[in-house]
Amino acid sequence: MGSEFKQAVQYSERWLDIIKQKNVPEEVGKWIIEESQYNFAEHFNKGWLEYRKSVTEAGDWAMTEWTGNGACFHDVLGREFIDCLGGYGMMDLGWGHPEVIAAVKAQLDHTPMPSQELIDPLRGVLARLLAMILPGDIKYSFFCASGTEANEGAIKLAKMYTKKSGFITALKGFHGKTMGSLSMMGKSDYRQPPGILYGGPVYHVPFGDADAVERQLDICDKVGVDIAAVIMEPIQGEAGAIVPPDDFWPRIREATRHYGVLLIADEVQTGMGRTGKMWGVDHWDVKPDIIALAKSLGGGVMPISAFCSTEEIWQVMMYPNPFIHTTTTGGGALACSAAIAAINVTLRERLWETAAQKGDYMMGRLKELIERYPGIMKNVTGKGLLIGMHFHDGHDGYKVAAGLFKRGVLVAGTLISANTIRIEPPLIISYADLDAVVDRLEDTLKEIAQEK
């Protein structure tokens, strides 16, 4: 064996030992932090370290996550955080939900991955469960790992079924970062650097503007540009928890039907109860033709995503070539077992109702803060526990995210665009933790106000 291979064996063995330890002594913790910073800088992405405030604000012993439970997680030195970021909406059930972990561990003991040739039972079970709980006549599902893959599949399905190639999507929308999904994204920061993306026509219209969607459909119809689908998030997540007017989804449903165009709902972030309904489109009782799911579908334990549609549309996935769309590792037995458990817990505990109640409570408390700090906070948007706090000034937003982090609360805010900070904690978060978040936020706002 060459010396580099030998080193790789030794290094992996050291880490395999560490992986087996639930808690590590302080000196090992510090070694892990140093190693992690070096590895990220030298082999993963140096920019991340420079950019991520969770690392940069933390000084010498950068926060390096280690373990979590419920709505809180601990870093490798045992420091605790309330998680109001929730893996960008992946942690509806919190960190390591015991029932999801139990299901995955049990499945791990007999079949980690499918043979690919035989029938693996759990894939069918999960597809049937989704048919039971998804809106309208959605009956079939395909499983993959990430949200972007789910949208890629949705785009391909819409193209194959309609035999058309155009799409209408929303400004500031977010659908993932692989080529098809990226083409549907409404932000130049990500779309422009890789250059030409999807080959067919893609039109972006303002989110929430039903007139604009209808107008675009009409123009395309008049000039003979064939549109396969309109794809949108029910409530825009990445854009800052932006809720459209109540007539938006019903009107785009009607307009797409009128023009023979499919309607795709990207429920990657809004699905599984996050916004106070099981699915985001349930707020308006709309039945899309295709739905994309991911994030919390895996119960915060396994990566799993899906795109789902009706029997009529699914014909093109089945005939003449049932292997027209496949993936080797997506929808494996471990991932499906996690999703089955996640669905079970979500339904049994009616977590969408919890999200609605806690969301109302949190929005009320945040609105009180706007009244007390009107020069810093502008407004609060969202539904359920998908909440956007909007600031007059991006610098203040950044200071709020950093100040909260310093006080043990993780929120979704970015260094270059911090006018909006998202709060999307696990749906199982306690009211005491929500109160703690508000108190620490007020502390932070006070500090910022004093500096002004």
Ligand X SMILES: Cc1ncc(COP(=O)(O)O)c(C=O)c1O
Residues that bind ligand X (CB under 6 A): 88, 146-148, 151, 174-176, 233, 237-238, 266, 268-269, 294
Output the smallest distance, CB 36 to ligand X, in A: 22
How far apart, in whole angstroms, are the C-alpha atoms of residue 51 and residue 224? 45
Output the smallest distance, CB 25 to ligand X, in A: 35
Residue 253: which residues within 8 A CB-CB, separation 6 or more? 263, 286, 287, 288
Bridge partner residues of 293 (DSSP) = 306
Closest to ligand X by CB, 268 vs 389, is: 268
Residue 225: which residues within 8 A CB-CB, separation 6 or more? 166, 201, 219
Closest to ligand X by CB, 122 vs 268, is: 268
Residue type, 31: W
Output the smallest distance, CB 190 to ligand X, in A: 11
241 closest CA partner among 88, 399, 92: 88
From residue 322, how far is each of 114, 115, 119 by CA, in Å? 18, 17, 14
Closest to ligand X by CB, 93 vs 438, is: 93
Bridge partner residues of 229 (DSSP) = 167, 262
Closest to ligand X by CB, 86 vs 147, is: 147
Output the smallest distance, CB 328 to ligand X, in A: 18
Closest to ligand X by CB, 185 vs 448, is: 185
Residue 299: which residues within 8 A CB-CB, separation 6 or more? 92, 93, 97, 100, 338, 339, 341, 342, 345
Output the smallest distance, CB 450 to ligand X, in A: 35
| C-alpha 206: how far from chain center | 21
* Residue with the shortest CB distance to ligand X: 147
SS3 content of the chain, % helix, strand, coil (to 5): 50, 15, 35
Closest to ligand X by CB, 127 vs 304, is: 304
Q: Are strands 377-383 and 166-170 parallel, antiparallel or unpaired?
A: unpaired
Closest to ligand X by CB, 164 vs 295, is: 295
Whether residue 154 contacts residue 307, with contact meaning beta carbons closer than 8 Å, is answered with yes
Output the smallest distance, CB 86 to ligand X, in A: 11
Closest to ligand X by CB, 176 vs 403, is: 176
Q: Residue written as tokens 């609605």?
A: 356
Residue type, 349: E
How far apart, in whole angstroms, are the C-alpha atoms of residue 290 and residue 263? 7
Closest to ligand X by CB, 237 vs 382, is: 237
Output the smallest distance, CB 233 to ligand X, in A: 5
Output the smallest distance, CB 33 to ligand X, in A: 26
138 closest CA partner among 242, 29, 265: 265
404 closest CA partner among 421, 427, 426: 421
Output the smallest distance, CB 266 to ligand X, in A: 5
